[in-house]
Amino acid sequence: AVDLLTVGESLVSLRAAGPLAVGGALTMHVAGAESNVAIGLARLGHRTAWVGRVSDDELGEYVLRQLRAEGVRVDGVTTDPERPAGLMFLERRTADLTRVRYHRAGSAGSALGVEDVRAPIAEGARVLHLTGITPALSDSAREAVTWAAETASRSGTLVCLDVNYRARLWTREEARAALTPLTTYASLVIASADELDLVDEPGAAESTVVARLAARGVDTVLVKLGADGVRAHTREGVRHVAAVPVTAVDTVGAGDAFSAGYLSGLLDGLDLDDRLRRAVTVGAFAVSSHGDWEGLPRRADLSLLDEHETG
């Protein structure tokens, strides 16, 4: 069994340095929140696997090749004989203002279903990482994620859910209706402050959401505060850890890097403060470099950004 199994859609991302409407060179990358997390953990030496569907062409081959090169296991991946690769165009306007255009409706990845996740879930993993993007892709993808979460949690796998709301995929109401029931299978929920009420009632206060998640069996809620770091709610109380001060050049992928850092600390048996410190450190590497995951640290790199405070 692997340390971390993650399920989702990996996209081919075509990045422009400036406005897309002006044209110019595009660079080709693998994107996808779940595979970003798998790469982040693989860089830190953990055994990881990604499961999803890829197109049966050069683009699907490219996705698999990149993930394999990063040490992520892809042997559970299904190749879809008909559907195309999911694409994403990304234009950067400022360091933290990027605009994304998806071409993923009807893609191979969005056709994910329970059959695609059965074998990998049966093989087991210490942690199953899911995000709120996958259930937005299709009814069958939502079923697959729910089935995976339920089955894994029943067999003692720790289930982590990153809310990851995508306004271009569904409304807040649709997201809330799908994601709230998913949290009953999760031990760990990760969200930015503005995503928290997507696993509770609209406008619910942070303390209310955290209490209701705890009642559903969630033992840790990580509220990401961007440049202000993270607030962690656990059974032992609330902790705040500051972000590592760095110059941000590209914030896409920061959330996934944060998740990877936290989960790495969890797998290593670190205490809460050290897990949070690893999370903000890996996040800092992600925002300091271009690309979702290209700049993520290896273990020896972690100490490069060591001096920052907790409180």
- Catalog residues that contact ligand CKP under the rule CB under 6 A: 11, 31-33, 36, 88, 133, 164, 166, 252-256, 292
The nearer residue to Mg ion, 120 or 255, going by C-beta atoms, is 255
The nearer residue to Mg ion, 60 or 229, going by C-beta atoms, is 229
Tokens of 18: 């400036």
From 256, 271, 274, 306, the catalytic residue: 256
Interaction partner, residue 136 (ligand CKP, Mg ion, none; CB < 5-8 Å by kind): none
The nearer residue to ligand CKP, 98 or 234, going by C-beta atoms, is 98
Least distance CB 122 / ligand CKP (angstroms): 26
Least distance CB 247 / ligand CKP (angstroms): 18
Distances, alpha carbon 41 to alpha carbons 173, 181, 260, in Å:
32, 27, 5
The nearer residue to ligand CKP, 93 or 236, going by C-beta atoms, is 93
Tokens of 54: 């890829």
Residue 255 in contact with Mg ion, rule: CB under 5 A: yes
Distances, alpha carbon 107 to alpha carbons 12, 52, 112, 113, 279, in Å:
11, 11, 9, 13, 32
- Is 256 one of the catalytic residues? yes
Least distance CB 156 / ligand CKP (angstroms): 27
Tokens of 33: 């929140």
| Nearest-angstrom CA–CA distance, 301 and 114 | 38
User: Over the range 3-36, which residues count as b (16 or more CB within 10 Å of their CB) and which as e?
Assistant: bbbbbbbbbbbbbbeeebeeeeeeeebbbbbbbb
| Nearest-angstrom CA–CA distance, 60 and 50 | 14
Question: How many other β-carbons are positioned within 10 Å of the β-carbon of residue 146?
Answer: 18
The nearer residue to Mg ion, 33 or 111, going by C-beta atoms, is 33
Residue 164 in contact with Mg ion, rule: CB under 5 A: yes
Q: Stretches 71-79, 248-256, 262-270, 278-286: which one binds Mg ion (CB under 5 A)?
A: 248-256
Interaction partner, residue 116 (ligand CKP, Mg ion, none; CB < 5-8 Å by kind): none
Cβ distance 189 to 158 under 8 Å? no
Q: What track of x and - describes contact with Mg ion for positions 113 through 152 (by CB under 5 A)?
A: ----------------------------------------
Interaction partner, residue 11 (Mg ion, ligand CKP, none; CB < 5-8 Å by kind): ligand CKP
What is the DSSP secondary-structure string of 129-178? EEETTGGGT-HHHHHHHHHHHHHHHHTTPEEEEE----TTT--HHHHHHH
The residues assigned a catalytic role are: 256
Contact positions vs Mg ion (CB under 5 A): 164, 255
